Structure 1
Amino acid sequence: MFQEKFGSLWTIVAANFLHEYQKHCYEFKEECNTEKKIITKIKTSPEKSLWLEKEDSIQRGLFDLLQNIVLIRDPEDSTKYYPRFNLEDTSSFRDLDEHSKNVLRRLYHDYYFVRQENLWRQNALKTLPVLLDCSDMLACGEDLGLIPACVHPVMLELALIGLRIQRMPSEPGLEFDIPSKYSYMTVCAPSCHDCSTLRAWWEGDEGTRSRFYKTVIGSDKEAPSRCTPEVVNFILQQHFDAPSMWAIFPLQDLLALKDKYTARPAAEETINDPTNPRHYWRFRLHVSLESILEDKDIQASIKNLVTSSGRSFPGKKTDKA
């Protein structure tokens, strides 16, 4: 494993960061057994000149080793352990015998999906009503991803609306959600501040966009590598037409209806990357609001989506952009 990760530098890395407590068995030294300590060691070690040009790859490799565990020791009781999240994705798990794997799978499922369900529900029913009573605002719960089984029943009980993003389906077995099947008690959106924009998502993975183009858009042709205005219009129309109480769109996704506003690299339009602690909320629109107000074409495109879906304000005149 060391040679795979560090190549010819593996002996140097092992000598500086690891302790061989028995033959071919290693553990991190005390002075570099956390990510923060590893970063400090890499930058301050007297031998740093040996890996200067490969500093980033060595850091990533050491981080991978540090995270390659299946159980986490309780910091207050060294005799207790907890299963780490996604433990089956580690090589440590894959190297175990089948019996040990099955035991860990059962413990993992019980820990994350069974034993704490009642605690989650009790706390939700104790805390959420107080929060809801504090304001007249309409509350929305972010019920995406891995959530306790009690979340949706509790939200229904408290009349909390949920969030639906097509690429993050709430139903198991689906790769892409179906906006036309959303519940009224939801907010639907093609993207949000905590994920890539529609354009960045489309252009970021060829396999994903190809499957979406075939299964959702229904085309047998090759999916365009660019997120064209036609693709954007199709996806936005799905969301406008959805039964959801609210359809909310990041401005980046609306502006992608016109090529004029897609000159900037799509990756630069992401507001926040939750996986990167150094990714700060510094997004700024690359065009002025005044120029958008003068652009009758983009206004007409958005107005058409609004009016055709029936989401326009009743009685309001919509014959002018």
Structure 2
Amino acid sequence: MSQPYIRQEILEEKFGSFWTVIAANFLNEYQKQCYEFKEDCNTEKKIIVKIKTSAEKSLWVEKEDNIRRGLFDLLQNIVLIRDPEDSTKFYPRFNLEDTSSFRDLDEHSKNILRRLYYNYYFVRQENLWRQNALKTLPVLLNSSDMLACGEDLGLIPACVHPVMQELGLIGLRIQRMPSEPNLEFGIPSQYSYMTVCAPSCHDCSTLRAWWEEDEGRRSRFYKTVVGSDEEPPSRCTPEVVHFIVQQHFDAPSMWAIFPLQDLLALKDKYTTRPAPEETINDPTNPKHYWRFRVHVTLESLLNDKDIQATIKDLVTSSGRSFPGKKAEGADESGEKLSKVQLNGKA
């Protein structure tokens, strides 16, 4: 279970008729229809080198990316990870139930592994996470006057939210990545005050890109969140953007923060650029660099009174911040200041 589980049917499913070429160049058949990686390609680094330097590389030159990904998948098709310092110890790999290595086990073995997996990831390390958090986070919080926000998205230890509440840390809420396990989409109107809400962030696709790349989730969002039984537009129109952005402005969250890309999508004029190009960072791709540049000049935005008015209306109608009666005051240098009345939201 700690070695890649490779069977002929898996190769056929992953590589089609090309599976024989893959098997001949990268694998050894140690038993009928059962394979293992050759010594010169049993790690990701070795696979990359062999794909690039093999005498047979002309056979897959146009399929190189797909072959590399397929071989990496095979390499990761394990249930247990052997401890590199003690060969008698093993650790359950994350999401082990998603592997064909797990699916082909008998039910008794599956049940044992499920219990070990749950205990390892969700029980036995909780106290360690909590102790370390209470030791290190206060030091960080006391080292600056900045307001700290915890990125509490995705799979997190159960102690995270209680510790954040204990320390007064605000959390992050991205609607399409809810922290509630039974929800596909977060409900901004139900967010806690001690949160930052945002339709997207630097580490995920923009609102427009997400809408246009996933037809299934788009349809479910349109039905469950927008409340319409009609087919959603395949393109993320300014009307769709306005609906979602307004939900976030109206949320009880202390802060509502919007990537500029999502605000620009409020106007058709600024959506001519392909949406995927507006993603700042793709954490799943080590070669995706932070090279995003806004395709609109500041001067043109300063002159665009329409989009300024749209954003201003969203701000004022939500009550997040609005101009109050101007009161003159003086700072230490004697300069006049205009005070802005706030209602407790930013």
TM over 0.5: yes
**How far 1:21 sits from its partner (Å)?**
3.2
Spell out, residue by residue over 1:152-187, the C-alpha distance to the aligned partner (whole angstroms, 9 max, x if none).
Answer: 000000000000010011111101110010000000
- Kindly report which structure 2 residues correspond to 1:1-321, keeping only aligned pairs within 5 A, or say none: 1-315=10-324
Spell out, residue by residue over 1:71-107, the C-alpha distance to the aligned partner (whole angstroms, 9 max, x if none).
Answer: 1111111111111111111111111111111111111
- Alpha-carbon separation, structure 2, partners of 1:314 and 1:287: 28
TM-score normalised by length of structure 1: 0.96
Spell out, residue by residue over 1:104-160, the C-alpha distance to the aligned partner (whole angstroms, 9 max, x if none).
Answer: 111110000000000000000000000001000000000010000000000000000
Q: 2:135 corresponds to which letter in structure 1? A: K
**How far 1:313 sits from its partner (Å)?**
4.1
Worse-matched range after superposition: 37-46 or 19-28 = 19-28
**How far 1:314 sits from its partner (Å)?**
5.0
Cα-Cα RMSD: 1.4
- Alpha-carbon separation, structure 2, partners of 1:307 and 1:186: 20
Q: 2:197 corresponds to which letter in structure 1? A: C
Q: 1:75 corresponds to which letter in structure 2? A: P
Spell out, residue by residue over 1:199-241, the C-alpha distance to the aligned partner (whole angstroms, 9 max, x if none).
Answer: 0111111111111111111112211111111111111111001
**How far 1:19 sits from its partner (Å)?**
2.6
TM-score normalised by length of structure 2: 0.89
Query: Tell me, what secondary structure is at the counterpart of 1:212?
Result: helix
- Alpha-carbon separation, structure 2, partners of 1:250 and 1:92: 41
- Alpha-carbon separation, structure 2, partners of 1:101 and 1:36: 31
Q: 1:6 corresponds to which letter in structure 2? A: F
State the percentage of identical aligned residues.
87
* Cα 1:247/1:65, change in 2 over 3 Å: same
- Alpha-carbon separation, structure 2, partners of 1:230 and 1:104: 48
Contact between 2:315 and 2:322, CA under 8 Å: does it hold in 1?
no
Q: 1:163 corresponds to which letter in structure 2? A: L
* Cα 1:219/1:4, change in 2 over 3 Å: closer
Q: 1:221 corresponds to which letter in structure 2? A: E
- Alpha-carbon separation, structure 2, partners of 1:251 and 1:316: 29
Which structure 2 segments of 5+ residues have no match?
1-9, 327-339, 341-346
Spell out, residue by residue over 1:2-28, the C-alpha distance to the aligned partner (whole angstroms, 9 max, x if none).
Answer: 223233333332232223334433221
Which structure 1 segments of 5+ residues have no match?
none
